[in-house]
Amino acid sequence: MSVKQLLDLTGKVALITGGSRGLGLQMAEALGEMGAKVALTARKQHELDEAEKHLKDQGIEVMTLAADMSDLEGIPAVVDKIAEGLGEIDILVNNAGATWGAPAEDYPAEGWMKVMNLNVNAVFFLTQTVAKKCFIPRKTGKVINIASIAGLSGNPEAMKTIAYNTSKGAVVNFTRALAAEWGHHNINVNALCPGFFPSKMSQGLLDAQGDTMLERIPLNRFGGDEDLKGAAVLLASEAGRHITGQCLAVDGGTLVS
């Protein structure tokens, strides 16, 4: 099989949570360009509408569904609707996430629960549902969890995001544990750990500390609009079929500096 064939996703169905903008939309572009049919979820319908038009203008078959993934009881209906609309899911990208900034000693229970529910609980229960309905019966499936370098290390003192770091650390080990448990089903489970990418979630931090943060990045730049695409396609395709349980930092070298 040629490398082009290994990377080809024609006919595959990819579900990307939090896919209406930012990193989620970037990965949707990449998977769609390689032939996948793309389903996006997000909370805001108008952002989904914009994303749908953007992808359709690129010739990508897309379905959108407004849904709050932290509503755990609604997850089965989301999976059923996508399967009915596009076909059974082949690729799951757990990208939806939240953060909340506060000093650890004063961190509010509301913030902790919000972050953990979306970043950890929703990831598990959505993955479980997709696997039971689509992956395990067919003995095939690709799971890509979007963790963060914040789940692999601490943060500078000024970044008071204890719940976010903890949740992304949980996603890292969730990835490893699930890969070990589901390998016999021929399900690949991996994680991408982005570094600093300008986004709606990170913009305030970058505005306040961007210059200092840039000094910590050996490649001397933040992540851009193309920088997750190749890694996402690799892990979603047959080119990555012998890769599982891995957590790939896409961070310009931040962790090694």
How far, in Å, CA of 19 to CA of 62, rounded?
11
Which residue shows structure tokens 């990555």?
240
* Residue 151 amino acid letter: G
Beta bridge partners of 37: 13
Instruction: At 57, give phi and psi (nearest 5°).
Output: -65, -20
How far, in Å, CA of 236 to CA of 217, rounded?
27
Catalytic residue among 91, 152, 164, 191: 164
* Residue 100 amino acid letter: W
How far, in Å, CA of 257 to CA of 251, rounded?
11
Active site residue 164: yes
Strand order from edge to edge, sheet including 247-250: 62-66, 37-42, 13-17, 91-94, 141-146, 187-194, 247-250
CB 17, CB 70: distance < 8 Å:
no
How far, in Å, CA of 170 to CA of 119, rounded?
9
The catalytic residues are 164
